[in-house]
Amino acid sequence: MSDTEFEAENEGLQDDGYSENYEDDDLDEGEDVNTIEAPTARNVLEYLVKSVVEHPDEVDVEIVERRGAVTLEVTVAEGDMGRVIGRRGRVANSIRTIVRAAASQDGSAIDVEFVD
């Protein structure tokens, strides 16, 4: 239906102020909303970081949104941060490049931040 057809069909109707509130049944209370955005990028990031570190069970990836920008924050075990960053940050930059490419599959722009 085009806009002009819609306008013609609804011509003369007035807003009676009635509205219904619906609950979102897709999310259960307490469910982590962070898992919804950028699943490909998050999975790729988690796979790459776990492949580099000595303690893959301690890798945590969290999605944070600030001022409209989406950031994936990576936390690793205490001794593994040097492995993830690499010499002169080469490993970290390579991971960021690959994750940004994966994020394009999700249709989003992602930044990656390595948190101590």
Q: So where are the chain's domains?
A: 34-115
User: Residue 17: is its pLDDT beyond 70?
Assistant: no
Give pTM, 2 decimals.
Answer: 0.67
**Which tens digits make up the pLDDT trace of 21-59?**
544 444 445 445 444 467 899 999 999 999 999 999 999
User: Residue 8: is its pLDDT beyond 70?
Assistant: no
- How many Å apart are CA 46 and CA 59, to the nearest integer? 7
Calculated CA dihedral for residues 47, 51, 56, 61, nearest 10 degrees? -30
22 or 86: whose pLDDT is higher? 86
Residue with tokens 């000595």, as numbered in its chain: 54
Residue 63: closest CA among 72, 51, 75 = 72
Q: What is the pLDDT of residue 60?
A: 94
Q: What is the pLDDT of residue 15?
A: 55
* 34-115: CATH topology: GMP Synthetase; Chain A, domain 3 (3.30.300)
Calculated CA dihedral for residues 48, 53, 46, 65, nearest 10 degrees? -110
pLDDT-derived band of residue 108, with 50, 70 and 90 as boundaries?
confident
